[in-house]
Structure 1
Amino acid sequence: MRTQTIKISPILNKVTSRRNEEDCYTLCWLQNGVDHIEINQTKYKNISNSVFFLTPDFDWKLYKTDTDSSSGYVLLIPRTLMDNPIFKNLHITQVRFFKSTDEIPKINLSPGIEKRVKSILEMLDELISTNLPNKEQAILSLLNTFFVYCDGKCNIKTFISDNNQKAALVYKFKKKIDTQFSKKHEVSAYAQLLHVSDKYLNECVKEVLGTNAKSLIAEKLVMTARHELKFTDKPIKEIAYQLGFSSPDYFSYFLKKHTNLPPSQIRKS
C-alpha cells in the first residue's frame, strides 16, 4: 500500500481545478463556501455537504465564494489503493466503474454527520504530512471510516441527472425530516407534506437508499437522542418531550428497540 501518494488539500482558493494525476480518483467534499462545481463544462449548484467521486476522465473546477475559510477538501486517491480488500464490501468502491458524463457519482451527506466527516478529513490531512510509525495503517483506517460514513443509510447515493425525480423526492424527504422530526414521526405526515402517497414515498426511498422511509425518521431521532443524552445535562423526561414522544416511557421503549439500550445507559456509555 502506498498511502504516501494520497494527496489532500483544503479548498481555499477562489477556483480549484483538476490536477494532472492520471492514476488518481478525485474525491471532493464540499461545504457551504463552494458556489458550484463545473464538470466537463456543465455547472452544478446546490451542492453543500455533498461528496463527489470523479475518475481521471473528468475535467472539473470548483468555484468558491469570497471567504477566507476552508470550504471542504479535495482528496486524490490512487487507483491501486481502491483495490485494497478493506474496501471490498463498501458501495463506494463502485466509483471505479463510472465513466460516462451521465453517471457522475454524488452523495448528499446527512447534515448530522458533517462535523464527523470534517474531523476525519482534518486528521487525514494532519497524518499525511507526518512521519509517524504505522502511518500507512492509520491513513487506511481513516479513509475506510470516511467511506463507511459515505455508505451510511441516511446518505443519498445518486447520480447527477436532470431526470432523477425519485432521488430528488428522497432528498426533499430528508430535508423535511431534518426540520420536522421532533414534530412528525409518521411516514404519512411527510408524504402529505410532499404531496405523494405513503406507498410511493417508500418505493422511492427503497430504490434510492435501499431502506424504508420509517427507518430514516427513526435514524434521525436516535442520532439526536444520543447526542442530547451524551452531551447535555437535560433530564431524560425533557429530552423525550423535546423530541415529540408522548411520554418518557415510550421514549425509553423506542431507544431500546433501536439501540438495545435504555436512555440511562446511553447517557453513561
Structure 2
Amino acid sequence: MKLENLKISGILGKMTSSQKDDCYAVCWIKNGVKGIKINDSVYTNVSNAIFFLNPTYDWEILKKDTSAFSGYVLLIPKQILNNPIFKNLHITEVRLFNVDEIPKINLSPGIELRVQSILEMLDELISTNLKHREEAILSLLNTFFVYCDGKCNIKSVITDNNAKSALVYKFKKSIDRNVTQYHEVGYYANSLHISDKYLNECVKEVLGVNAKQLIDEQLVMRSRHNLKFTDKTIKEVGYELGFSSPDYFSYYLKKMTGLTPSQIRKS
C-alpha cells in the first residue's frame, strides 16, 4: 500500500483543514492551544486530547504562539484505514471517523507521553526512505489506535459539559498521583466527595469497566515497567507500589496477570 499521502505536521501555529487532501485528520493537542474550531463551532479546554475528524469537516486549530510545540496533526487517506491490520480495532468496528458527532479522546495521565513518542516516530519514518518503511508506519499507526482504543483513555463526543467524563478524568488523575499509596475505590470516591457506587456508575458509563479495574490496570502497568526496566528488587518494587509484603505483591500479580514477578521480569 502506498503511503505517500499520509502526512504529519507539528502544531506550531494556526492550522486549517484542506478539502483537497480528502483525508481523515487526527489532531493531538498537547497544550498551548486556545481552541479548535470545527464547522464554525469553537471548542476550548482542549489540552491533552485527540480529535478524529472526517474529510467533510472544516477545522482550524487556534494558536498564536509559533515558537512552542503543541502537538501533531496526522492526515490519513481513506484507503489506509481499510488495511486488515486495523480490522479488529474500535476505530474500524464503529467507524469512529464517520459518526455524526465529533469523536474526542481525553488521554489519561501518563499515556500522552507514549502517544507523543509514537507520533514522533511516525514523523521521522514518513520523511525517510528506509527499507520496510511502510510496514513500520502501519505498525505504528496500529499501536497509536490501540492506545486510543484502550481502557486507559476516556472516549466521548466533543463537549465542554460532559460532567461524568470530567469526573472520570479527575479520578484517573488521582490514581496517577496516589496509586502507590491507595489501592481501594473508597479513597478516591471520598476525595472526589462522591459515593463508591456513583464513581463506579460514572466509570462504567464512560469506559465500560468498573473503578477498581482502573486502579488495577495502573498497578499492573507500573509493576511490569519497574520489573522489566529497572534493577530494583521484587521486594523494593512491591513496597514502592504500596503492597504490604513481597508475598502479597506476588499473589496480586499472579492473580491479575497469571505470572509471578520473577516470570514478568524474565518475559
Do they superpose with TM above 0.5? yes
Matched, 1:47 2:46: yes
Relative to the length of structure 2, the TM-score reads 0.90
Query: What percentage of aligned pairs have identical amino acids?
Result: 67
Aligned-residue offset at 1:163: 4.2
Pairwise mapping of residues 1-269 of structure 1 onto structure 2 (< 5 A)? 1-12=1-12, 14-64=13-63, 66=65, 68-93=67-92, 94-99=95-100, 103-269=101-267
Q: Which letter maps to 2:120?
A: E
> In the alignment, is the contact (CA less than 8 A) between 1:51 and 1:107 conserved in 2?
yes
Determine the C-alpha separation between the residues in 1 that align with 2:27 and 2:160. 21
Aligned-residue offset at 1:36: 2.6
> In the alignment, is the contact (CA less than 8 A) between 1:33 and 1:65 conserved in 2?
no
> In the alignment, is the contact (CA less than 8 A) between 2:52 and 2:104 conserved in 1?
yes
Aligned-residue offset at 1:162: 4.2
Deviations 1:72-127 (A, max 9, x none): 2111011222222322221123223223xxx2211112222323222221221122
- Cα gap change, 1:202/1:137 in structure 2, threshold over 3 Å: closer, same or farther? same
Deviations 1:188-214 (A, max 9, x none): 221222222222222221221111111
**Secondary structure of the equivalent of 2:51?**
strand
Aligned-residue offset at 1:157: 0.8
> In the alignment, is the contact (CA less than 8 A) between 2:49 and 2:107 conserved in 1?
yes
Relative to the length of structure 1, the TM-score reads 0.89
Determine the C-alpha separation between the residues in 1 that align with 2:218 and 2:110. 8
Determine the C-alpha separation between the residues in 2 that align with 1:6 and 1:53. 15
Determine the C-alpha separation between the residues in 1 that align with 2:110 and 2:224. 12
**Secondary structure of the equivalent of 1:200?**
helix
Aligned-residue offset at 1:67: 6.3
How many aligned positions are there? 265
**Secondary structure of the equivalent of 1:34?**
coil
- Cα gap change, 1:6/1:169 in structure 2, threshold over 3 Å: closer, same or farther? same
Q: Which letter maps to 2:181?
A: K
Aligned-residue offset at 1:20: 3.1
Aligned-residue offset at 1:69: 4.2
Aligned-residue offset at 1:138: 2.3
Q: After TM superposition, where is structure 1 displaced by more than 6 Å over at least 4 residues in a row? A: none
> In the alignment, is the contact (CA less than 8 A) between 1:21 and 1:56 conserved in 2?
no
Determine the C-alpha separation between the residues in 1 that align with 2:243 and 2:63. 42
Aligned-residue offset at 1:22: 5.0
Aligned-residue offset at 1:34: 3.0
Deviations 1:151-174 (A, max 9, x none): 111111111224422222211211
**Secondary structure of the equivalent of 1:73?**
strand
Determine the C-alpha separation between the residues in 2 that align with 1:85 and 1:203. 35
Determine the C-alpha separation between the residues in 1 that align with 2:246 and 2:146. 32
- Cα gap change, 1:34/1:228 in structure 2, threshold over 3 Å: closer, same or farther? farther
